Amino acid sequence: MKKTILSILTAAVTAASSQAQILVAGWDFQTTSNGGTAVIAAPGTGVANNTPKVYVSNFGSGTLYLDGSNSSSNWLLPATGVTNAEITSASGSSVNTSGTLLSNATTSPAALSLLGGALSGSVYSANGKAAVFKFSMLGLSNLSISFSSQRSGTGFTSMSWDYSSNGGSSWSSIGSFSSGTAAGTIASPFATSDILSLPAFAGLDGVSDALVRISFNGASAANGSLRLDNIQLSAVPEPSSSILMVLGVGALIGIRAFRRK
């Protein structure tokens, strides 16, 4: 009897602890599965600008904001033309799509491209601006982040990642990437592409309105560009209620069995 109880408990615990990560939200900026938002077109002279500032995830559930809401910055997007635009579309990457439904097509429009923007004094306007992801971590733990990134020689040279579990009232650092370093290099030129990833962390475990912010710096030209593609937010499901129930029942059976002895 004791061996049977131990076997049940061991099996339940093993099932709970061996769950792999799942995709919480993914952006490839192309497909529109799950109501996801595509980068429809780049800004163009004399035509309506179809480059969105808000992107619903193509897979899973989450939203990327560049419109000034949810603690993001309001990235400039001219109604017509391309002058001082800070958002555009670009050709994409097939990197970081393996094992997922994310698109590996690369023909533009296939990625989100962020630009330096207008020159104000000696600083380009988009330096210091931030994009924010909002999603749910209910029933999930150990968030990890990976994505494909490419930059031009004058594009943003650094990205700082932070998270907030209280609606943006305070932020904690996840990590950062910079250009020209051995670890976490933002690829340049566009002929190459990196998978960049951040280590899993527990700060957003179980948070219903989780926020992750990227702040950009180092652009040295108005059209200096940094492309983002195939963004994956992944996490580990917490033990299901059924597994917890098995553990509870097993414990009760064990207590009764030992009392009888």
pLDDT of residue 249: 43
Average pLDDT over residues 9-19: 47
- Give the number of other Cβ atoms within 10 Å of residue 125's Cβ: 18
What is the residue whose two structure tokens read 């527990």? 202
- Predicted confidence at residue 180, as pLDDT, reads 58
Which pLDDT does position 10 carry in this prediction?
Answer: 45
pLDDT of residue 151: 87
CA distance 33 to 67: 22
Q: Is the pLDDT of residue 182 over 50?
A: no
Quote the pTM value.
Answer: 0.83
Return the H-helix or E-strand segment holding 249: helix 241-260
Point out the least confidently predicted range of 41-55, 67-81, 191-205: 41-55
Assess contact for 13 and 5: CB atoms under 8 A. no
Position 191 pLDDT exceeds 50: no
Predicted confidence at residue 40, as pLDDT, reads: 85
pLDDT digits 0-9 by tens, 129-167? 999 999 999 999 999 999 998 888 899 999 999 999 999
User: Higher-confidence residue: 27 or 11?
Assistant: 27
**With the CA atoms of 147, 148, 153 and 154 taken in that order, what torsion angle do they form, in degrees rounded to the nearest 10?**
-40
Residues 6+ apart with CB under 8 A from 75: 53, 66, 67, 86, 87, 114, 126, 129, 131
